[in-house]
Amino acid sequence: MDVIKINIENNIKNIENELLKDIEKTKHLRDYSFSVETKFKDKLYGIFLKICEKKLNKFTLKNNNFNLHAYYTDKYWCKGGRIIENDNLSFNRFHNHIKTSTINSVLYLKSPKGCGLDIEYDNKVKFIEADSYDFLIFPNWLNHRPVISNKESRISLNLELSCNENVNDIFNPL
């Protein structure tokens, strides 16, 4: 299974600092994974849609209910209102987005070396290195898990699209 990987640094470099501030404001109030409200949501989804329209088969959106979900890890992370040491095992299990999307993506804002995404396909696990500003796009059924850092901050955003078409028709052939 190929995952679309595109670096969008030129598209978001000018909003990066404000976007990271929006994420920072929210992270201490929630878990390592949390919803983010930012004025840049429409811009990020515009970039996401443009890439999908260029790289995937034709699709139509079911709705415009766009949400941004952050995944923020470092040496310490916030869980239930208290800071606990990151054990690198308890919260990065394989999962998919079948119930919430058709097209799924992860945008890496800060990604230390070796912190990307493990994907599980055909009973094999493949690591995808993700650099800062990389956008990974893949079908909702693809099992994946974040590879996190115990030293540096790893900050990513999840963006999802719900489509009228079948996911396999959108991604076939990729």
Please say if the pLDDT value at position 102 is more than 90: yes
The CB density around residue 171, as the number of other CB atoms within 10 Å, is: 23
The CB density around residue 76, as the number of other CB atoms within 10 Å, is: 12
Beta carbons of 105 and 171 less than 8 angstroms apart: no
Q: In the numeric block, which tokens belong to residue 101?
A: 């999307």
Tell me what percent of the residues of the chain surpass a pLDDT of 70: 86
The CB density around residue 42, as the number of other CB atoms within 10 Å, is: 11
**Cα 74 from Cα 88, distance rounded (Å):** 10
Residue-range domain boundaries for the chain: 4-171
Q: What pLDDT score does 30 carry?
A: 52
Q: What pLDDT score does 88 carry?
A: 47
Beta carbons of 153 and 74 less than 8 angstroms apart: yes
Q: In the numeric block, which tokens belong to residue 170?
A: 């959108």
Q: What pLDDT score does 19 carry?
A: 94
Looking at domain 4-171, its CATH superfamily turns out to be q2cbj1_9rhob like domain (2.60.120.620)
Beta carbons of 167 and 104 less than 8 angstroms apart: no
**Cα 109 from Cα 131, distance rounded (Å):** 8
Any idea which residue has 């679309």 for tokens? 4
Q: What pLDDT score does 169 carry?
A: 96
Q: What pLDDT score does 159 carry?
A: 97
Amino acid in position 29: L
The predicted model scores a pTM of: 0.88
Q: pLDDT tens across 14-36, in order? A: 999 999 999 888 876 556 778 89
**Cα 66 from Cα 148, distance rounded (Å):** 25
Please say if the pLDDT value at position 167 is more than 90: yes
Task: Tell me the CB-side half-sphere exposure of residue 66, using CA atoms within 13 A.
Answer: 18
Q: Region 88-92: what's the mean pLDDT?
A: 52
Amino acid in position 167: V
Q: What pLDDT score does 31 carry?
A: 66
Q: pLDDT tens across 114-166, in order? A: 888 999 999 999 999 999 999 999 999 999 988 877 678 888 999 999 999 99
Closest CA to 138 of 94, 85, 92, 101: 101
